[in-house]
Amino acid sequence: MSMLQVSGLTKSFGGFTAVDNVSFSVEEGQILGLLGPNGSGKSTTFNCIAGMLKPTAGSVKLAGEEIGGLSADATCRKGIGRTFQIPRPFRELTLLENAMLAAHFGSDGHLSHDEAEAIARDALTLAQLPTDANAVVGGLGAAGLKKLELARAIATRPKLLLADESLGGLDGGEMRQAADMLKRIRDERGITIVWVEHIMGVLLSVVDRVLVLDHGAVIFEGTPREAQQDEKVAEVYLGPPETRAA
Ligand SMILES: Nc1ncnc2c1ncn2[C@@H]1O[C@H](COP(=O)(O)OP(=O)(O)OP(=O)(O)O)[C@@H](O)[C@H]1O
């Protein structure tokens, strides 16, 4: 079954079409890498799926149910969790409290304190963060803050996780760990993932399929191996063949 089905998605800002008739689907339990150069429409596509933007046209279905145009909180309660490119946790709250708030946000408000705490501890454990009640946000570096983003998204108990630029600001080793963590979330929890990233790098070793956007349109869809061999993909990332270093 397709967990996510995007059909004819279009988003215009005034007279400018940032996303132009984009269609793709993600099967349950798969990881899709959504790639493309700066300004290619990745964030706009992501935000239309996550309910931060209203599509101008097209359909977004989660497990067969139309969710296009729903608000961000309604989308979350339907089962879409997201991370933000720039982490903005509640710094005055502990890690556990941050994850507990997310657990409440993802539910219909019927979670007890103890249920929210259990979900939050589980999410922090999966993200390899401390679960004790005193652990605070201060002192977390870039990699720690990315982990907290993931913990907060997982605590909403999503069917589909939208991961936004999870590698930004990380060094090589941290990038590998971040990629492995997304894979583990899929492997251990069966959560379907759409991973939006500006750079290809380590992403190709983890995702099942790759979608590449350029100027708001899909220019490639296939396996990571096919992406590495595709001339159109090489062109948007590396420039025309005659300008590339040997
Ligand atoms: N709110 C907006 N109003 C007007 N134009 C916008 C708006 N949001 C995005 N755009 C434009 O839409 C195009 C696609 O932007 P988008 O942020 O989706 O690209 P992206 O692939 O995510 O880029 P990046 O890798 O830099 O995040 C860009 O030309 C951008 O300037």
Give the tens place of pLDDT for each residue, 186-229: 999 999 999 998 888 889 999 999 999 999 999 999 999 999 99
**Same domain, yes or no: 72 and 174:** yes
**Same domain, yes or no: 178 and 232:** yes
Question: Of the candidates 140, 156, 172, which is a domain's last residue?
Answer: 156
ipTM > 0.85 for the complex: yes
Q: What is the pTM of this model?
A: 0.92
CATH at 22? 3.40.50.300
Task: Output the residue whose Cα is nearest ligand 1's atom 24.
Answer: 38
Give the tens place of pLDDT for each residue, 99-123: 999 999 888 778 999 999 999 999 9
Question: Of the candidates 128, 156, 184, which is a domain's last residue?
Answer: 156
- Give the burial class of 243: count Cβ atoms within 10 A of its Cβ; 0-12 exposed, 13-18 middle, 19 or more buried: exposed
Give the tens place of pLDDT for each residue, 144-197: 999 999 999 999 999 999 998 877 788 888 899 889 999 999 999 999 999 998
Identify the helix (H) or strand (E) that includes residue 42: helix 42-49
Cα separation, 56 vs 188, whole angstroms: 36
**Same domain, yes or no: 163 and 147:** no
Average pLDDT (131-138) is 87
Give me the number of domains the chain comprises.
2
**Same domain, yes or no: 24 and 74:** yes
Tell which wins on pLDDT, 70 or 244.
70
pLDDT value of residue 81: 94
Give φ, ψ of 229 to 5 degrees: -100, 0
Mutation test of ligand 1: which of 42, 197, 214 has the most ligand atoms closer than 8 Å to its C-beta? 42
Find the distance separating the first CA and the last CA of the chain, reported in whole Å: 44
Which of helix, strand or coil describes residue 26? strand
| Average pLDDT score over the chain | 92
**Same domain, yes or no: 165 and 60:** yes
Mutation test of ligand 1: which of 10, 11, 13 has the most ligand atoms closer than 8 Å to its C-beta? 13
Can you give the residue range of the structural domain that contains 73?
2-79+158-243
**Same domain, yes or no: 175 and 115:** no
Question: Of the candidates 156, 191, 209, which is a domain's last residue?
Answer: 156
**Same domain, yes or no: 66 and 176:** yes
**Same domain, yes or no: 239 and 172:** yes
**Same domain, yes or no: 23 and 6:** yes
Which residues 6+ apart lie within 8 Å of 137 measured at CB?
Answer: 89, 90, 91, 93, 94, 95, 98, 145, 148
**Same domain, yes or no: 132 and 185:** no
Is the Cβ–Cβ distance between 213 and 23 less than 8 Å? no
Angle CA(34)–CA(38)–CA(43) in degrees, nearest 5?
Answer: 50
